[in-house]
Amino acid sequence: MWTCDAARESGCFDRILVSTEDGEIATLARENGFEVDNRPPELATDKAGTTDVCLELIERLERQGEHYDYVALLYPTAPLRNAEDIRSMMRLVEEEETDFVHAVTTFDGNPYQLMCRDAYGYLTPAWPLLVYKKSQELPKPYRGNGSTYFAKTTALKKIRTFYGPRLKGYVMDRLRSIDLDTDEDFEILNAYAKIVLKENAHA
């Protein structure tokens, strides 16, 4: 419930919905005071994308007469994203020249030196024109940390992706950008939590 709690604490939303087809998750959400939207079966498959889930929900709500200026997609696998992060992203998307905002973080290493392996096992640079350049000659790269996405509703309905034009990034540090997808991610998060708790105990 870390994500739901951060969303509620942020004070940014008129409505917070937990979209799920899982009964256990739905029960837990309701017990903690959150509204549950039962995800349609066709959007509860491995092939369905979360953008499709958002668009279906927006269009369903609009048919019921509910209209919202902004939509946010917050993944539950990012427990270190907090209410202030959400508020900061909301301020960015409210800017006139911004339609989309992603939570991003920096890369570990130089992504412009990325190489891809072909069917024969040979490696070739993904960006051959950039691989020989000095780091100071290259733009600073960022990657989405998989935690939070904001969009103007009209822009999302038109572009039908959160990767639209007029996209800005809200930078989070790499430690707080841990995305819980694997057992290794959990171990990293657990180690980080112990460090934070130790520091707070001596503060």
Query: What is the CATH superfamily name and number for domain 2-107+143-201?
Result: Spore Coat Polysaccharide Biosynthesis Protein SpsA; Chain A (3.90.550.10)
pLDDT tens-digit map of 47-67: 889 999 999 999 999 999 999
The answer, as to whether pTM is greater than 0.85, is: yes
Q: What letter does residue 176 receive in the DSSP assignment? A: G
Residue 123 pLDDT more than 60?
yes
Strand 17-20 and strand 35-38: the pairing is parallel
Specify whether the CB–CB gap between 124 and 159 falls below 8 A: no
Task: Return the higher-pLDDT residue of 12 and 109.
Answer: 12
pLDDT tens-digit map of 192-201: 767 655 665 5
Q: How large is the C-alpha radius of gyration of the chain?
A: 19
pLDDT at 96: 87
- Helix (H/G/I), strand (E/B), else coil: 156: helix
| Dihedral angle computed from the Cα positions of residues 86, 88, 90 and 91, in that order, rounded to the nearest 10 degrees | 170
Residue 92 pLDDT more than 70?
yes
pLDDT at 201: 59
Question: Which three-class secondary structure string do you get for the chain?
Answer: CHHHHHHHHHCCCCCCEEEECCHHHHHHHHHCCCEEEECCHHHCCCCCCHHHHHHHHHHHHHHCCCCCCEEEEECCCCCCCCHHHHHHHHHHHCCCCCCEEEEEEECCCCHHHCEEECCCCCEEECCCCCCCCCHHHCCCCEEEEEEEEEEEHHHHHHHCCCCCCCEEEEECCCHHHCCCCCHHHHHHHHHHHHHHHHHHHCC
Place of tokens 């994308």: 49
